[in-house]
Amino acid sequence: MEQLETRSDPDRDPRERVLATAYLALVAADTSPRVPTDTAWFAVDDLPPTAFDHGSIISSARDRLRAKLSYTNIGFALAPPVFTIAQLRDIYAASLGHPVSATNLQRILLRRDVIQATDLVAPPTAAGGRPAALYEFVTPSLIVTNPFGAFRPPGPGLPMGGCCQPSANAP
């Protein structure tokens, strides 16, 4: 959990001046936290109407997470302790909002020493085939892995899910 931003626009709440400090907290994909009965989980792109500037705050949180996935190992906070590359790809794709190539993701995260293979394999599935290798994050605490990295959405000339390339201003 980290502080996201503080909002102080005098008109953000029409009733009175209200300051708001927003936090970004991540919940691993394999957990099911208890929430009050009048609360529900929604996909960030399918939210019901929100009050005041709360939609903008949610957009800021989404953008912060997307950026951090590009230059840190923050995926450890979203993934189960061990996972297949396909599972990790699905987590990254859902968070980034665009398709991600499992091969590129694996190559990039291994090269940056963010993930490592375990000696375990996933249980067999009904689809058959060779069992998938299981991976884990090298460090289960936040570190910057590439200050100039950026996962890009697919585009002309880029493979599905883009890849992590240094920015044009990188040394």
pLDDT in tens, 56-74: 999 999 999 999 998 999 9
pTM for this model (two decimals): 0.77
Give the whole-number percent of the chain exceeding pLDDT 70.
Answer: 87
User: Does a structural domain hold residue 39?
Assistant: yes
- Position 151 scores a pLDDT of 65
In a domain, 27, yes or no: yes
* Residue 116, strand partner residues: 136
CATH number at residue 47: 1.10.10.10
Q: 130 lies in which domain range?
A: 2-137
pLDDT tens string 112-169: 999 999 999 999 888 888 899 999 999 989 999 888 776 667 666 554 444 444 444 4
For the chain, what is the domain count?
1
